[in-house]
A and B are shown apart, each in its own frame.
Chain A
Amino acid sequence: MSVNILVVCVNQDILKVIVRLINANENWAAVGKSSLPDAIDALLANHFELLLIGSGFTESEEQGMADYVQNTIPDLRIAKHYGGGSGLLSAEIYQALS
């Protein structure tokens, strides 16, 4: 059973790379969205274990998303992604899920 991960990142090129890298792990299944409203729609329509917030959002947008998730999907874990590629991705996911 794969861990379902939603990635949200404004930069669509980087988003594609992150989703591809996550899906290279057979235990993880990632979907990507490039806006917060689209991410919320995806969260309401599907079950995810982890929301990974990538680049391109203001601090208040990130906080607003975190507040929304905490109020509506309290079991969903949230992690901020740094680095934009393979370097930190696995550790961020392992840490968020541990």
Chain B
Amino acid sequence: MAQIILHKADTRGGANHGWLKSFHTFSFSSYYNPERIQFGALRVLNDDQVDGGMGFGDHPHDNMEIISIALEGSLQHEDSMGNVAVIEPGEIQVMSAGTGLYHKEFNKQADKPVKFLQIWVFPNERNVQPRYDQQKYDLDSHRNELVQILSPDRADAGVWIHQNAWFHLARFDQEKELRHSLHMPGNGIYIFVLKGEVSVAGQELSERDGLGIWDTDTISIKAKPGAELLLMEVPMQV
């Protein structure tokens, strides 16, 4: 029988550094909640807003698959591999930190905030060669369906990571019911609502609510017009 865990938006941890406002679905930095450590291999789901011209200075990472999804504004990334890139809404960025790298990221625009999700997934292999990639996706041409933006397979749609994980985004302009089958046994699905109202496994979800489901091989999603969601399938055992 399917098991679920519900994380309502207002139960997330938070940090307000003035220039940075962040909501943490799982324990991160100074927010520690032993009941909210991870959902399987999904370890970090941060909902960040950075003021114009501000950002995170040079800092290191290792052994983590780090995914950023821009929601509003422009996020500039620079790293020790020589990559300089900007992501905007409609783009996903991935960094396999592996043996270690430095990077900085900041709001490219001086007068508007940038809003983005930063997602960390445990890698299925430690100490890989660090790498960076980014890709565009198009939700408007594929409304009312799930659009794959990440997988473990470099030949498949979206960016790829060192983990048996699949991410999809969806934007709805009509009431729609979808069924989604998991790619791998032992995986679970975490749904994060970006906008609007969604019903999953009998749970009514609103903006920024999260719902984890596991011990199932398929899920049903009912979305209302205007809804947007991120669906993340990850291994439940790390």
Contacts and interface: CB of A to CB of B under 8 A. Distances in A.
A32 B37 CA distance: 25
A98 B37 CA distance: 13
- Pick the most buried of B28, B59, B61, B100: most chain A CB atoms within 10 A of its CB: B100
Given A56-B127, A95-B37, A11 B32 contact: no
A56 B127 CA distance: 6
Given A55-B100, A58-B127, A87 B62 contact: no
Given A55-B100, A56-B99, A95-B37, A83 B61 contact: yes
A85 to B, nearest CB: 5
Interface string A60-73: 00100000000000
Given A55-B99, A58-B127, A90 B32 contact: yes
Q: Which of A56, A82, A85 has the most CB of B within 10 A?
A: A82
A82 B63 contact: yes
A71 to B, nearest CB: 23
B28 A55 contact: no
Interface residues of B, number: 24
B32 A94 contact: yes
Contacts of B122: 82
B61 A88 contact: no
Nearest to B238: A82
Given A59-B126, A88-B43, A98 B34 contact: yes
A58 B122 CA distance: 17
Interface of A: 9-11, 13-14, 17, 54-59, 62, 80-88, 90-91, 94-95, 98
Interface of B: 27-30, 32, 34, 37, 43-44, 59-64, 97-100, 102, 120, 122, 126-127
21 contacts: A10-B99, A14-B60, A14-B100, A55-B63, A55-B98, A55-B99, A55-B100, A55-B126, A81-B63, A82-B43, A82-B62, A83-B61, A83-B62, A83-B64, A84-B61, A84-B100, A85-B61, A86-B29, A90-B32, A91-B37, A95-B37
Given A62-B126, A87-B29, 12 more contacts: A10-B99, A14-B62, A54-B63, A55-B62, A55-B99, A55-B100, A56-B100, A59-B126, A83-B97, A84-B97, A88-B28, A98-B34
